[in-house]
Structures are given as structure tokens and as C-alpha cells.
Amino acid sequence: MDERTVRPVEGATADLADGFHDVDSTGTARDFIAYLRKAEQSESGRVVREATYRPLEGVSGKGADIGCGTGRTVADLGRLGKDVVGVDSSQAMVDAAVTRFPHCRFVKGDALALEFGDAELSWYRAERVFVHFHDPTQALSEASRVLKPRGTIVMADPDLDSMVLSSRFPKTTKAVKDAFCSAIPNPHAGTRNAAHLTHSGFTDIEVTPVMVTMSDYASAFHLMVEPALTAALAQGEISQEAAAEWTSDLHDLSRRAAFTAATTFFVTTARVRG
Ligand SMILES: C[S@@+](CC[C@H](N)C(=O)[O-])C[C@H]1O[C@@H](n2cnc3c(N)ncnc32)[C@H](O)[C@@H]1O
């Protein structure tokens, strides 16, 4: 989709809202990989990624980046001296990660049934992964099994309700945001992870909000507008005309340096009970 045009639903690119929980079955893994590469290259991607590295600074021992996608974090943490393996349930993602970073370790695996032994890991990291889980507590129970006592978990997810845009059509913005939230398995993960961690027996929980902002429409389009708009059109929540009016307004605001978009991510850290 070009940022100035709205494609008919039939021709929409991969449904980024609800495809990430099983990328290989979508038949459009390439679109998901391209999306992650754009997110990785963006300033907002860097800010969130680096916010998850800080809580791992003093942590040693073997760890895993769960839902590692195309592998950037595994390469970064390896460079920082961490003993790290990337795990992803998508073979296409693992292949992309291995191609990019052949010196790093990546394995295909499911966060709900990890191949690690009990208490094998000292740390566990997952960025923008729990937002795609229908049952996050199942994944947390598995995280708690593979982590050592006092082992560290670091999660980073948005609460998609925090998405704001400087549109002059706020009703359309709300309809698009609501449709996006209803298409994503766990859209409020960012603000719910802490409660799920408590429920799963983790302690020492800390939550750090990280607001990401985008001041031009082109960056916001790829990262949040296109996936949300695709969901809204697919659900019939807005018409093609409303979508065209909305995107053309956003484009116009951006051209006049009057565009702002923001979403808040929540970096949540905790420890396994000792
Ligand atoms: C939005 S992407 C985030 C990728 C990466 N963490 C990043 O921030 O760039 C979500 C990733 O989680 C993976 N994933 C989804 N469900 C999974 C599961 N049950 N176990 C392991 N990985 C999973 C997807 O294949 C995808 O690569």
C-alpha cells in the first residue's frame, strides 16, 4: 500500500494485525519480515529495543530472545557479550535471521513449549511478542519453568489504546484504532503484562513506559497506519471513502510539518521467585 492510496481489502498486504502469531501459515512471510525490518530501522524501534537492553546489563549466564524475528537483538546482545540464543516459531523468521547474522544462534521453537530444560536460562527477553498471544499466562508459565530461581524476564509491548494521531477526523481515527485492537490477540499487553507476571508467581516487577513518537506520515504509515487501516477495512468498520479522506488528511498534515503520532510501549521486568 502506498501511503497516499488506499488499496481494496482484497489486495491488502499481509494482515499484520493478526498474522504474527503464526507467520508461516499466512503464506506472506516476506511481508512480515519486511515489516520487522522497517520497524528495526526506525527511530522508535531503536528506542524500544535499547530500553530492553538496560535491565539486562548486570545479568550474566545463558539467555534467550523469544520471538526474535529477524534477529537484530540477538546480534546486538551477542556483541554486548551475552550468551544468547534467538527462538522464533516461524521458520521463515529463523531463516531470515540466520542469513543476516550467520555467526549467531537461532532455533525454531514455540514460546508455549520451549526446548530448554527446567531452570536452564538466566534471562528471557520478548519484545512485541506477548501482544500476539491469546493466552499470555501459558507463555509465562513456560518462561518461569525455563528460568533459574531469581532469573530475569524482560518484556516490551505496546498498549494499542495509547495510539494517537494528529488527525482532523478523530471519529475515523477511533474506528481504525478500535478495529486494530480487536484484530490483535492481546492489544493491551503493555499494561497487562505486570498483572500476568504477578499471577504467574514472578516478583520484583517493574514497569517503564516508553513513548515512541513519529513526526512524519511516511514512518507512521508503515509502522502503525497501514496495519490498523487494513484491519479496519477488512472488518468493514470504515468505508474506502472515509479511509481515503483520513489518509489524505494525514498526508497533508505531514506535508505542512503538522503531523504527530505516538504509541506507548511498556518495558516490564520481573524475576522468578528465589
Ligand atoms: C512482532 S514480531 C517481533 C519480533 C522481534 N521481537 C522484534 O521486536 O523485532 C513477533 C515475533 O514473534 C514470533 N512468534 C509469534 N508467536 C510465537 C510463539 N508462540 N513462539 C515463538 N515465537 C513466536 C513471530 O514469528 C514474530 O517473529
- Angstrom CA distances, 147 to 86, 125, 144, 189, stand at 15, 11, 5, 21
Domain contains 14 = yes
Is the Cβ atom of 71 under 6 angstroms away from ligand 1?
no
Q: How sure is the predictor about 202, in pLDDT bands with cuts at 50, 70 and 90?
A: very high
Is the Cβ atom of 195 under 6 angstroms away from ligand 1?
no
Quote the ligand 1 centre to 66 CA distance (angstroms): 7
- The domain tally of the chain equals 1
Is the Cβ atom of 52 under 6 angstroms away from ligand 1?
no
Residue 216: pLDDT over 80: yes
Domain contains 248 = no
pTM for the model: 0.94
Pocket mutation for ligand 1, best pick of 25, 46, 88, 265 (most atoms within 8 Å of C-beta): 88
For residues 17 and 184, the answer to whether their CB atoms sit within 8 Å is yes
| Distance separating alpha carbons of residues 10 and 44, to the nearest angstrom | 30
Cell numbers placing 54: 538496560
Domain span holding position 101: 9-160+185-211+265-272
Is the Cβ atom of 36 under 6 angstroms away from ligand 1?
yes
Domain contains 119 = yes
- Angstrom CA distances, 211 to 50, 157, 162, 167, 180, stand at 13, 11, 9, 19, 19
pLDDT of res. 228: 94
Domain contains 235 = no
Domain contains 246 = no
Domain contains 170 = no
Domain contains 24 = yes
Residue 4: pLDDT over 80: no
Give me the CATH number covering residue 13.
3.40.50.150
Quote the ligand 1 centre to 120 CA distance (angstroms): 21
pLDDT tens column, 102-150 = 999 999 999 999 999 999 999 999 999 999 999 999 999 999 999 999 9
Q: How sure is the predictor about 12, in pLDDT bands with cuts at 50, 70 and 90?
A: very low
Q: At what angle do helices 240-255 and 170-183 cross, to 10 degrees?
A: 110
Domain contains 245 = no
**Helix (H), strand (E) counts: the chain:** 10, 8
Quote the ligand 1 centre to 65 CA distance (angstroms): 10
